[in-house]
Structure 1
Amino acid sequence: LPTCEKLCERILSCGSIDYPHQCLSQCHNGPCPSCSTQIILQCRCGKSSKSISCVEAIEDDPIENPFRCKQKCKTVKSCKTHQCSRICCNLDSHQCNLVCGKILNCNIHKCEELCHSKFCHTCSLFDQEIKCHCGKTVLKPKSKCLKILQKCYFSCKREHECGHPANHWCHNDDECPPCTHPVSKMCVGKHMSFDVPCHVKIVCCRQGCGKFLPCGVHTCQRSCHSDSCQSFDQKCTQRCNIKRYKCGHKCNLVCHGSEPCPVTTCEAIIKQQQQLECDDEYRVIQENKNLTQPFSINLDAPRQLPTVYTEFLRDYAKKNLEFVQTIERQ
């Protein structure tokens, strides 16, 4: 269709019912563009306003995201003491939600009601008798205003889970102090027992732990303890005490568990007249000792040969017996 130079002036969907907006574009074909009419937008408290295009106002969604000014509300709340102080406040009523906190007539407790303009109520504990847990100590009305008694000088009558009698004063706490009744408990390493207070759960002595390590060969060298002897990813670092077959010295390598000892050169030091290293010569001597030991043969002892006397000496001794005896006595 042909167009002219006049304004379109079609009625748009925006604006109010009484004053709908019109298209301000030049005569055109097709749908009208977005409304460019400038409108005055007020903040939610009504104290500020700004000019904005109709299309921007629709995109900002004034219902979900209303325009807010930066002014603080100075309206006095219902307590007639505090101010609102909200930014761009739109409340119809200003109820104070703060706690009163004023000192009550007992001069000890504070008012726990919401902030109010009237006088605070009378302390509810001021005219009541207060009893301890066992009931033997009573605080008379108006003598003192306390939520709990400071101390009752009678023994506590509560039953403990351990079954031991309480040896402390009556109290208003929810739980009794730890039981201190002496009991005999075994240490965690099962070495010995001790007399300790009942509440003590873990008892450790000063003896060595002695439990086998995961390697299955060595024992724990720590003193008695409650935790595991060795962490999951930790390996035994003690030395192997298995004797070597040839020389008899200890393996002395880092623990290798139940696996056979690796074949390595012995580094033991031998103490004789001089210090010698464990070599092939020493290993031969040691093997000879191992072979002769079951037969009680001592290779280190000097050999004793039988004494042989000649026939002449035997005849002479028979004829001169007194002289021979004199020689033997010397």
Structure 2
Amino acid sequence: MSVFSAKNEKMKRGSKSNQQKPDGATRFEEVHARNIAAAKKIVEKYSSSSDEEEEELNECKILDSLFKHYKSDGSRLGIQQALQQKTATFFENALHSGSATCLICIGSVRRADSIWTCKHCYCFFHLNCIRRWANDSIAQQKASTEQTSNEQGYYNNLGQFVPPKRKRPLHWSCPQCRKDYCLEEKPATYKCFCGKEENPRPAAFLLPHSCGEICGKNLQPTCGHTCMLLCHPGPCPPCSQYATTSCLCGQSQKKSMRCIDKEWKCDRKCKELLPCGEHRCKELCHKPNQCPPCTSTSLQPCECGAETKKRNCSELKWHCKKICGSKYSCGAHVCKRVCHSGSCGDCPLSLPRSCPCGKTQKIVPCIETIDPCGDTCQKLLSCGLHTCTQRCHRGECNLCLIITKKKCRCGIHEKELPCWKIFTCETKCKQMRDCGKHTCNKKCCDGRSCQQCDKICGKPLTCQKHKCQSVCHEGPCYPCNQQSQVNCRCGKTSKRVPCGRERTARVMCMELCRIPSKCHHPIKHRCHKNECPPCNQKCGQINDTTGCLHICEAKCHAAVKVVKQNPLNGGANVWHQSKQFEFKKQPHPPCEQLVKVSCIGGHEIAEWPCWNSKPTSCQRKCNRALRCGNHKCELICHAVPDLKDMKVCTLIAFNYFLSLHIFNLNLNMLQFLFYFIF
């Protein structure tokens, strides 16, 4: 760098430092102006987009074209029944922009958005949102399977073989109904509702996101027919085809009925013989062999025949509380069974019996008892490892008292204890649970029961109002499944919206607004959410500003929204001031009514605004006859109260002054010539 360039740089820096820095108010005005410009751009974009979204569709024509193939005879019966189903809700979400909500981003689903629809719950989602949801779910499952990979199995600390876990194929679920979809069903393209066309183009005469072709899906319940509606959202309506069928009982003649109503009932009674064998069915037409239980009563004996009661015919078998008490064939013992039918059978004590340990079997009279055989019991004890060392005895065996080396459940510690005792140590398990966030922390854990985390997730959901109540899990939480009720301002119309959409939800109320008008024009308008719209009517009151009796024709100014001026905040920091608005009554503007006004000389009549209706000069010559009678007034338009007051003819005065001026000019010329000669 040369010497001159270095000097120039110093001079520039000095000049910049000498410039005055902008104060806080100037910087505030600059930032405020930039913010206003940015806000205007956003408002313009929002208004243009909202105009496009709020472009009204001809719903009647769209619904008529949608249902034109639904019923062949052209009646409205099929349409009314279809609209009573859940399909009507999905039609509203598709027709009205912003009615449906994407549960992933909690944003409105508009008519121009690319969407994906669940096959089970028919809920709308943005295509990009459901792609991201599916990719995140699959990625979390892959990471979890890689961490807990067990392809061949292993032996735990107790020497027990743990078989490999059965691998579950990768899947992702619908955020609302939790329906599982396989990896191949991950949404890739934007398709219409019936799935025949990709990237359907919007048309004014078609339902948004529809291809306009016949749906063609198999109807449910299966009847062999397909849906005849045009491509539509939501479930298919009931079948509208006709079939010739008889009633359920088959007693009436066959009729031509709609497929959904083919199981129809006649007015005749069934009259089939009921299982009681005495009465017949009194119910109206129903399917065969599906008669209800008999409601008649009759005297019925119990199973043993000791008692008889009046009971319903449907309860053919009943037992009393009497013990049988009949003697067996041995003659020494009696039957202890409660009320039963048939024979009592053989005495249970006359069958082959064994000693208490079960090694010796004998057949002895039922009146005799079998004594212990005297051999070792050798029954397997409750420990499952050792046998009883006592002699053959009656009753249960004692606990195993053999001292053995036992390992705790986690397999870390070892100790000599009686076999019947369970050894547990105080070591806490530090194995991570399946959520990948919490440790087991159970004392002496065997490693099997610590896989699934039992804690509540507790993360804040996207609605920012509730927390996740699911068991601790990996990946993102499911959207909030609660709904809130949003009311209109008057409270007569309400709507259920997903949690978190209360501020942006639109409730279309058809009632009139009940808020009293701030001005003298009580204009009727519909219920709305924000402030009442400004009055656009004419003022209509007498204009007291000009002092005339004309009616003010300006826009109503009885309640004008202005910025509230607070003198107490004059010295506050300009960066922290917040604008507050109030409604004020503005004075009448100057009256603009045109009135006819004559000039001061009476030459012409012109129309002037009322506030400026004062006689002025028209800038013409007066042209009135003077008193001399020979000439007219040459002055500019002026006021003349009375023609008799006219002065002397201005023409004589004009000639006098002209001659005097010529005389003075000649005198000056003579003086100049005299001075030049002499």
Pairwise TM-score range, normalised by the shorter structure: 0.3 to 0.5
**TM-score scaled to structure 2, two decimals?**
0.19
TM-score, length-scaled by structure 1: 0.34
